[in-house]
Amino acid sequence: MLVENLTFTAGGFPARFGERLSSVTSAQYRDRSDQKLRGEAELSLLNVDLMLEGQPDSRLHWAVATRVSDRRLLLRTLQTDGEFSPRAYDVQGILHGQLFRRHRVQLLALHGENLFTATPESQQTSSQIGYFQFVNFRTSFAGHEKFIHRFSHLAAQLTSELSSRFSLQQLLAAGKTFEHEDTDLSRFTQQDDVLISAGAVLRNDRLRENYHLYQGQLRWIISSKMDAEAGLRYVRRHYDDRLADSEREAPTAFDSTASYGGYHNEDHGASRLTTRVLAAFGSYGLQFSRRWRLETGLRYNSVENSAEHILQPRASLTFVKNERTTVNAAWGRYAQPAGYHEMRADGYEPRCEVPAQRATHYVAGIQRRGGAGNEWQIQCYYKRLDRLIPYRVEDIFIRFQPDRKAEGSIYGASWHWRSNLSKRWTSRLTYTYMQGRQNIAGEGASRLPTDQRHTFAAVFQDKMPNLPNSRTHIRFLFGSGYPFTPLYARPDSSGATKILAEGNRNSFRHPYYRRVDLGMSYDWTISPRVEAKVSFEIFNLFDFRNRLSYAAFVDGTGRAWYAPVNLSRRLFNARVNLQFPGK
């Protein structure tokens, strides 16, 4: 509730943004209010939100907000039966103050926790072996899963107007995160009442992170046509990791067949690591005519753990044809130092020498604004990727492989269109095409895990007749399936026992994702100081079975079976929003 504006840049971003490989998201918090005191509350079947905001005078503004989420209703539509408790909360507070005529301070505090506990009991899945033939599987569970992610963040920002041409912004921030995974779960899978697979996972992982950050940015208005920026950023992170993993699959066998040997993997250890990244940048902007603007920049990174010094030049050119049409093009080089999870390989011990991932962006786009709120834009891009850290997906976990060397590329285009079809009808359409490839040394070429070729979204909103304060909307979502790596059973070196192995990386693809949502809302003024909005939504109106992953089983004959695991089904939600304008 405190975020006023969220900006997403898909590529070609300027030198002031760094340590990101592909895109950046920047958030702007509320910094003023036209009322001395106002409040807002929202209650739905999934969340409870509260916000209080005040501005006693022009020199002081404050706001606090909290959110509590309980998503049990969402998980009840999944295929797995049992007790699930996905809960989360966060508290935010922000304070803006005018210290002196030229100095303004902003204080921000965040704290929150995501908690997921599960006691699964059983899961029903099936594998199709013909047009009308299915093999049914029933998996029984014993044990529990618990995941905790807790975070705290404090920041202070000082903005100083040094003169009419110079401004300085400085930021100090500190925070910590805590991740804990506690799993003790056994699994027994039956095919037509015959036990074909049994396994267990015992995991107790704790990861603590503490970080400190300083950032300074100086802006200089040289003239009406020229401006420049320079900045410095320093980030120190300390990690304390404790890991105890054990995962096993019991061997199985049928008479006169090659048995499945199962497996038993264990990782235990402890690690502490401190990383430091220093960045500096400078940029120069020139409005060399009424229609043309050029911005150039250079960013420098010093990464301590990998002993790298990286220069990243960037440039962008904007052409304003008229007040309605804008054309832009950008080029730049970018680097993203490896995070802790990316440095931690299968052998558990983090590889501090892992180099930063790098990319070169080529981006071009055009934006056209028409009358009555009509607007469309097209963007094309090509990104060359180097020193990639590949990863594989195991169920819901991402396992990075920093010991593998890889390069890749991403290219595509996106189209966005917004239109007011009439005084009542508004519409938004988005289509994106993207293709991503990677080439891993010793393995060859494959799709990137994020290679979703086609995505399409359409939203139509209408004001209902004879109800001027009402709205109804319908949303269509479609996307190509993500690729995944198949598993199969193959004989071991003796030939008498089969083991589970990975096939070609990302050579299979999930089915298409499709969803239709329907919603309606009504606004009214209860009193001069209370405004209300009531809305109802139906997610996945047609109850499509969209794919989350596949459960892989190997029976005693050594045959691998795949059973689809689906995302949530149709879901109803009701929401009431109350606003108290105050004075």
In tens digits, the chain (583 residues) has pLDDT values of 777 777 777 788 899 998 888 888 877 787 777 788 889 999 999 999 999 999 888 889 999 999 999 988 888 888 888 999 999 999 999 999 988 889 999 999 999 999 999 999 998 888 776 666 778 888 899 999 999 999 999 999 999 999 999 999 999 999 999 999 999 999 888 887 778 778 888 888 999 999 999 999 999 999 999 999 999 999 999 999 988 877 777 665 544 444 555 666 777 788 899 999 999 999 999 998 999 999 999 999 999 999 999 999 999 999 999 889 999 999 999 999 999 989 887 656 788 889 999 999 999 999 998 877 789 999 999 999 999 999 887 766 788 889 888 999 999 999 999 988 777 788 999 999 999 999 999 899 999 999 999 999 999 998 877 777 889 999 999 999 999 888 777 776 666 666 677 888 999 899 999 999 999 999 988 888 889 999 999 999 999 999 888 877 766 666 777 788 888 889 999 999 999 876 6
Whole-structure pTM value: 0.88
Q: Is the CB of residue 113 less than 8 Å from the CB of residue 67?
A: no
d(CA 471, CA 518): 11
Token pair recorded at residue 22: 């592909």
What is the number of other CB atoms lying within 10 angstroms of the CB of residue 313? Answer: 12
342 by DSSP, 3-state: which? helix
Element (H, E) at 90: strand 80-100
User: 74: part of which helix (H) or strand (E)?
Assistant: helix 72-75
30 contacts 23 by C-beta, under 8 angstroms: no
The token pair that represents 387 in the structure block: 């020193």
For the CA atoms of 500, 505, 509, 515, what is the dihedral angle to 10 degrees? 100
- List the beta bridge partners of residue 250: none
The DSSP result for 461-523, as a single string, is EEPPTT-TTEEEEEEEEEEPPPEE--EEEEE-TTSSEEEEEE-STT-EEPPPEEEEEEEEEEE
Coil vs helix vs strand at 103:
strand
* CA dihedral angle for residue 303, residue 305, residue 307, residue 309, rounded to 10 degrees: -10
Task: Write down the architecture of domain 3-580 according to CATH.
Answer: Beta Barrel (2.40)
